[in-house]
Amino acid sequence: MIILNANTIPLNLNSGTLPDVSGALLNYFQPIIFETVVKTVVNFQVVETPTVYNFQGVWQPFTPEQLLIKPEGQRSWKWFTLHAQPSLVLNTDDVIKYNSVQYRVMSKMDWSLYGYLQYEIIEDFSGAGP
C-alpha cells in the first residue's frame, strides 16, 4: 500500500494548496504609475516609445538584511522591492521611471499563484535607457 501525501504532489499541481492572498493585498496595495520606454531602431535612428502603466502595488526599500546579501560595492545603491498585481508585466533589465527617477528591474519573482509578482529594482545610475 502506497500512502500519498503532500510530499508526492508538486505545489503547482494540487489545487487549493496555495492561498490566493490577492484579496488581502488589495488593502495593502496603493495606486502606482510607472513609465517604461521601449527603444527601437527605425531607419538607423533610435526611437523611444513611452508606455504608462497604472497598477496597484507596494514600493518598499530593501531591509538592512537584504542589502547585506548584495555584493559590497552594491550595498550603497538604492534598492527597492516592488510587490504588484500580476497585470504589471516587467522583465529583467527593463528601465522604468517612477516619481521622475529612473530605475532598472534587476529580478522578477513570479508569485502569481499567490496573486502577486515581486520585483527587485535599483536606481539606474548608468544613464542607459531613456
Within a domain: 11: no
pTM exceeds 0.85 for this model: no
Place of cell 499541481: 13
Dump pLDDT digits (tens) for 73-108: 676 788 899 999 888 889 988 888 888 888 999 999
Within a domain: 5: no
Residues 6+ apart with CB under 8 A from 5: none
Give the C-alpha separation, 20 to 24, whole Å.
9
Bridge partners (DSSP) of residue 108 are 119
Give the C-alpha separation, 67 to 2, whole Å.
46
Total number of domains constituting the chain: 1
The answer to whether the beta carbons of residues 82 and 119 sit under 8 Å apart is: yes
Place of cell 494548496: 17
Within a domain: 112: yes
Residue 117 lies in domain: 19-123
**CATH number, position 35:** 2.40.10.270
Within a domain: 9: no
